[in-house]
A = this chain, B = another copy of it.
Amino acid sequence: MQLKVQPIDIKVGKYKVVLNTIDAKELGVYEGDRVRIKDHVTLTAIVDFTEDMISPGMVGLYHEVQEQLQREWTETVEVEPAERPKSSRIIRKVMDGFKLERDEINELVKDIVEENLNDIEIAAFLTATYIKDMSEDETEWLTRAMIETGEKIEFSTSPIMDKHSIGGVPGNKISLLIVPIVAANGLLIPKTSSRAITGAGGTADLMEILAPVEFSASQIKEMTEKVGGVIVWGGATNIAPADDKLIKIEYPLSIDPHCQLLASIMAKKGAVGAQKVVMDIPMGAGTKILDAKTGRKLARDLISLGERLGMDVDCALTYGASPVGRTVGPALEVIEALKVLETMEGPNSLIEKSVALAGMLLEMGGVAARGQGRDLAYETLKNGKALAKLKEIIEIQGGNPDVTHEDIKVGEFKADITAPANGYIIEFYNKRIVQTARYAGAPNDKGAGVLIHKKRGEVVEKGQPVLTVYAEKKDKLEDAVKFCRENPPILVEGMLIEKVADLREL
């Protein structure tokens, strides 16, 4: 069918065109079908349908299709029904419980990266793998395919170190300490990190306060070779791009299929050339890992996948039922981390967790003897070498190396949340703390967050401040305080415990 081109200058993130339902009927294409557009270039696109946006006889070409046609087309183009991509059948195979071959996984990941699949198909794939999981072979192939379909960094020296936190614990600013400790001891650690989606601040959100975080793979390589480490945003690179596209569909479903979780983590590590990796697996109420058994299984799976990929993986099950340190939210967390680097003053939970994990990396990297890693890490923090290294990292990423914790601005609006009764704090709800910080504006408003005065097990008196909420905007502070009053993030011994149904919701 010859249709007249109508450019639609909207980015939709996929190769899509719009047909009037009358023409679609004539062509015999329905929801989720593809058409082939033939002009000086031939391409396949997913069809959207409209009764009003595009007239019969026209075909609307979204931005991405226009780009693929190099922004040149004749007045009318030939439009014909196209078969579904092979991946469509491969997904069906997963739904039917069959194992995939390696080339099928390659095909599928290629189509995900090239945006040849629609959201419905990717959702079916993720749901099926969530329910049925994948074999070790499949997970390995998936990881390799995710690495191969993106940019890769290859260093000429070794070892290349890396760390990853599974997430789920608020205030986990440890990468700001670990990366400089490791790099200060002569090891290379090209740390890519994420921004928060459901959290109050990812490492990339924090680091952005100190320096730019958006770099290409080759820039990451170059900077790491110069100063030993970087802390950048992985999302700005084209490293394991399949992962971002899967997360976009996982998020609305609130799922993270086990095999995807493994592949996602390990693909990002593999793509930057990491050889020795420490995994931080926070465990406990409010985290992703509710008990030690689940934590150990995840650890074993990560280690085994690492072996298959030629990567040395060590895992640490860490305490995750309370926030790490006493701050949640970008600026507050950066202040806390810098203060430790500058003065060694700060919460024990932050310092101990950081030196323990950094110590593991120092041992794995061969710069500390077995059993000596933690002490070397502590020493590196204490003697200022870690701070000096962080300044180098900040500088090479284009930030101001002279920054101190006093330069970091928090939100100008603040409010105290006080204890409702005398007693011990017996519960601390991570998710409510995070939610409070988010209502206050985190992670988008860098100055928003929560300062924690009292943690689990500490004694409070009625009326004493337990938390201070910071915000950059007055109405956001009000929202956060309102949320906090309605959903108290702490429980003091003797307080009326809320209905279990309520807690379960969070």
Residues from 429 to 443 in A contacting B, C-beta threshold 8 Å = 438
A120 CB within 8 Å of chain B: yes
Q: How many subunits of this chain does the assembly comprise?
A: 2
Asked if B118 contacts A444 (CB within 8 A), the reply is no
A209 CB within 8 Å of chain B: no
What sequence of 0s and 1s flags, for each residue 270-309 of chain A, a beta carbon within 8 Å of any chain B beta carbon? 0000000000000000000000000000000000000000
**Chain B residues with CB under 8 A of A249:** 31, 120
Asked if A95 contacts B130 (CB within 8 A), the reply is yes
Asked if A252 contacts B121 (CB within 8 A), the reply is yes
A30 CB within 8 Å of chain B: yes
Do most interface residues of chain A lie in helix, strand or loop, or is the interface mixed?
A: helix
Stretch in A49-57, A152-160, A185-193, A355-363 touching the partner: A49-57
Asked if B51 contacts A11 (CB within 8 A), the reply is yes
Asked if A31 contacts B252 (CB within 8 A), the reply is yes
Asked if A11 contacts B52 (CB within 8 A), the reply is yes
Asked if A254 contacts B123 (CB within 8 A), the reply is no
Tell whether A252 pairs with B32 under 8 Å between CB atoms, given A11-B51, A131-B95. Answer: yes
A197 CB within 8 Å of chain B: yes
What sequence of 0s and 1s flags, for each residue 18-46 of chain A, a beta carbon within 8 Å of any chain B beta carbon? 00000001101011110000000000000
Contact of A30 among B10, B11, B53, B251 (CB under 8 A): B251
Instruction: Return 24 A-B CB contacts under 8 Å, by A number.
Output: A9-B52, A10-B50, A10-B52, A11-B50, A26-B444, A28-B444, A30-B251, A30-B252, A31-B249, A32-B252, A32-B253, A92-B254, A95-B131, A118-B252, A119-B123, A120-B120, A120-B249, A120-B252, A120-B253, A121-B123, A121-B252, A121-B253, A124-B124, A124-B253
